[in-house]
Every structure is written in C-alpha cells, then in structure tokens.
Homo-oligomer: A and B are copies of this chain.
Amino acid sequence: MSAAIAEMDDAPLTAQIAGKIREMLISGELAPGAKLSEQQIAGQFGISRNTLREIFRLLTSQNLLVHIPNRGVFVATPGEASVVDIYRVRHVIQKGAVRAAVRTHPALARMRELLTRTEASREAGDWRSVGTINMEFHRSMVELCDSPRLSASFELVLAELRLVFALFEDTAHLHDPYIALNCELLVLLEAGDIEAASDKLDAYLARSERSVLAALQTAKQKTSPRL
C-alpha cells in the first residue's frame, strides 16, 4: 500500500546499504574528500565491518569512493582532470548513441516524457529534481544503443558527475540553460536528422563542460583558498 518510495526488502543487505550510501554520496550528504571510517559507518548503519567492506569495494569500483590501502576509503573528489575525462567519455558514448538513433526507438519517447517532466519541475522551482531528470534524459539517450554494457559504463560516469554537482550548492544555473538544448536535440533526433543532432550534441557537451569547470573553479576557491 504505502510501499511507494523505497521498499527493497528482499534485496541482499549489502545492496540495500550500498544504495543508501550511494544516495548519500550523490546528494552531497557525504562531502567529497571525507574519510569514511569503517567502524563509524558500520555502526551508523548497524551492519558488520566485514559487510561494509564488501560495499566499499563495490562503490570503489564505481569510482564513487577512493580506496587507499592501509589508509581507508574516502569520498572521491573529482577534480578538473576528472571532469575533462568524464566529458570525453560522454562525447564518445553519446555521439555513438546519436549515430545509432532510429526514429521509432522507445528511448526517444521516454526522452520526450522526461522533457515534459523537466518543464514541470522547473516551473515548480525544484532544481534538485531538474538535475535528476536531466541525468535521466541523457541516460535514456544512451539507451538508443540498446547496449546494456554501454549503458552501465555511462551510468558510472553520470554518477561521478553527480558527485561533482554535489560540490556546488547552487545548481540552478547549471541546468537551466540546457533544457532548451535538450529539447532541440530531441526534436532533431525525432526528425531523424542524425547529422544535425550530432552537431547539437557537440555544442551541448562543450558548453556544459565549460560551465561545470567554471563552477568547479569557483567552488574550489571557496573551500580551500590555497593548496
């Protein structure tokens, strides 16, 4: 009945907690660079240290945590190099997706639906939601490839990118200008104009990367003026 939001009872304990920690990471609840003490986190979630270590291994393999031997695990702190790399991956994979696009693909319909929901969230001023849906939009775009492995790889970098966004507090202006670009891109895809869509994607990614890098720059200045 009320099992609407988060009710994954049956899933193995490690998956549950891993999901929770993942949520805390991309929501910024766990600050980047923070050290995650095994003892403390294990106590906090009421699980054993051994079980937690399995979870840490999982999240580390997803680039959300960094594991330094004999030192512990830390929340990853994506720097400019990571952002550049992430957008390089996006460029390759998403361009491949656009090239593989066919007009009848269900992913296009999903993208259209997400776009309307974005509009709604934007008018409601829910920028947090706008960011989430925007991510989903691009995730769906990659599904044009019909490749589970490619989608999985892409999801990895998207999660990492959300970690970057968690560094900022004001995400509004980071998403706002791109809704329109998303819309234009989708129209081109629905029309089957691969060439134009590809160019539009280039523009989108270049512009997005620049603004993320800029925001990262200012954010870094605020948190640590020197070093």
Report A's interface with B, CB cutoff 8 A. Answer: 11-12, 50, 53-54, 57-58, 61-63, 69, 85-86, 88-89, 91-93, 95-97, 100, 145-150, 153, 156-157
Contacts and interface: CB of A to CB of B under 8 A. Distances in A.
Contacts of A157: 149
Contacts of A147: 85, 88-89, 92
Nearest to A92: B96
Contacts of A97: 92
A66 to B, nearest CB: 14
Number of copies: 2
Task: List the 5 closest pairs (A to B, CB-CB), nearest first.
Answer: A92-B96, A153-B153, A88-B147, A61-B61, A89-B149
Contact of A149 (B61, B85, B148): B85
B92 A150 contact: yes
Contacts of A58: 57, 61
Contacts of A95: 96
Contact of A96 (B11, B69, B96): B96
A57 B95 CA distance: 31
Contacts of A50: 50, 53
Contacts of A100: 92
Contact of A63 (B69, B146, B149): B149
A interface, over-half SS: helix
A50 B97 CA distance: 40
Contact of A54 (B57, B92, B96): B57
Given A95-B96, A96-B95, A88 B145 contact: yes
5 contacts: A50-B50, A50-B53, A53-B54, A92-B93, A93-B93
Given A57-B57, A58-B57, A93-B92, A69 B149 contact: no
B96 A91 contact: yes
Contacts of A156: 149, 153
Contacts of A96: 91-93, 95-96
B92 A148 contact: no
Most chain B CB atoms below 10 A, which of A58, A89, A146? A89
